[in-house]
Amino acid sequence: DAPLLEVNNLETAFDIDGKYYNAVDNVSFKVKRRQVLGIVGESGCGKSVMSLSIMKLLPKGIGKIAGGEVVFEGRKIDGLSEREMNKIRGKDISMIFQEPMTSLNPVFTIGFQLQEAFFNHMKISKKEARMKSIALLKSVGISRPEKIVDEYPHQLSGGMRQRVMIAMSIACQPKLLIADEPTTALDVTVQAQILELLKEIQEANEMSIILITHDLGVVAEMCDEVIVMYAGRVVERTDVETLFHEPKHPYTELLMGAIPKMDEEVEELSSIEGIVPSLKNMPAVGCRFANRCPKAMPECSQITPKLAENTAGHEVACLLYETSQPREGMNV
């Protein structure tokens, strides 16, 4: 079965004061059909930049794809024109974000905005679009959709707005949904309901999802495979069970420690000390996690660890593992 999406050696660069820096640095992954792939890391790790790169929604004149390729259903899409890309967005690949209030237009009704999603890709009448909108709202668990369809975003709760966003994103039955921190702004109970809904839709529509999150709890709930990103690079990749039972990268281990336990009253998340280096301060060689890593060795700031399979189906980029050492005779 050919993958639905392939990202090969992607590099996305941002212009800062006239110089380009890689926010996504040589990242490769595949999304299979009906698969939920998690992309995990703290903010500033390049997760969102990656999704904007796939959608070709990078801020103009600031961000650009500097290398590699994005292949969707066997077709290279990173070089497509805006017009061609518009045919794909919403129809084949769609996206939902963290804060629905910023993605929904406050001056139009829910129904109007849902209908737009149809009109972009289908030739249907207004009446049909309205009926479809009501059915869609119902399918994402909104009660009294006939009423909600005529309401404005501010009249809905955060959870309802995220349901509306999900409805819009699946209006044309995309094959791939990119969900970027879809539940981060919501309280825990609503978060669980939204994840449940996404899972149901994913199964019913046989859709693939790229789920971007900083929250390993969400990953455990939702994902089949996971890639862990740090400072623009993939540092670990495997299936979800293996990741939780046998994390290999020190960064992943620390992220695990930052998961709140359901039965504990956590005042503050135990977070990892230090911060992700900014683009401008990214070290030129070595492991980008070196300044925060409790297991760092002197060579970690001199040798760049290679992402490589360490055990079957489990890749890691860390010099604690033989497989990440550069091969002899190779310059790093």
Residue closer to ligand SF4 by CB (options 156, 290) is 290
111 touches 142 (CB < 8 A): no
- Interface with ligand SF4 by CB under 6 A: which residues? 250, 287, 289-290, 293, 295-297, 300, 305, 318-320
CA 165 to centroid of chain Cα atoms: 16
172 binds, among ligand SF4, Mg ion, none (CB under 5 to 8 A by kind): none
The tokens of 261 are what?
């336990």
Spatial distance between the Cα atoms of 278 and 21, rounded to a whole number of angstroms: 10
319 binds, among ligand SF4, Mg ion, none (CB under 5 to 8 A by kind): ligand SF4
How does DSSP assign 178-230, residue by residue? EEESTTTTS-HHHHHHHHHHHHHHHHHHT-EEEEEES-HHHHHHH-SEEEEEE
320 binds, among Mg ion, ligand SF4, none (CB under 5 to 8 A by kind): ligand SF4
Residue closer to ligand SF4 by CB (options 159, 305) is 305
Residue closer to ligand SF4 by CB (options 182, 286) is 286
CB of 282 to ligand SF4, least distance (A): 14
The tokens of 60 are what?
């103009």
CB of 223 to ligand SF4, least distance (A): 22
Residue closer to Mg ion by CB (options 93, 129) is 93
287 binds, among ligand SF4, Mg ion, none (CB under 5 to 8 A by kind): ligand SF4
Residue closer to Mg ion by CB (options 94, 324) is 94
Residue closer to ligand SF4 by CB (options 193, 302) is 302
CB of 182 to ligand SF4, least distance (A): 29
CB of 286 to ligand SF4, least distance (A): 8
Q: What is the dihedral of CA 75, 168, 177, 195, to 10 degrees?
A: -170
CB of 47 to Mg ion, least distance (A): 5
Spatial distance between the Cα atoms of 23 and 63, rounded to a whole number of angstroms: 9
Spatial distance between the Cα atoms of 211 and 182, rounded to a whole number of angstroms: 8
CB-CB neighbours of 146 under 10 Å: 11
Spatial distance between the Cα atoms of 65 and 68, rounded to a whole number of angstroms: 8
List beta partners, residue 227: 39, 237
- Interface with Mg ion by CB under 5 A: which residues? 48
295 binds, among ligand SF4, Mg ion, none (CB under 5 to 8 A by kind): ligand SF4
Q: What are phi and psi of 9, to 5 degrees?
A: 50, 40
CB of 260 to ligand SF4, least distance (A): 24
48 binds, among ligand SF4, Mg ion, none (CB under 5 to 8 A by kind): Mg ion
The tokens of 115 are what?
């209908």
201 binds, among Mg ion, ligand SF4, none (CB under 5 to 8 A by kind): none
260 touches 266 (CB < 8 A): yes
Residue closer to ligand SF4 by CB (options 80, 320) is 320
228 touches 41 (CB < 8 A): yes
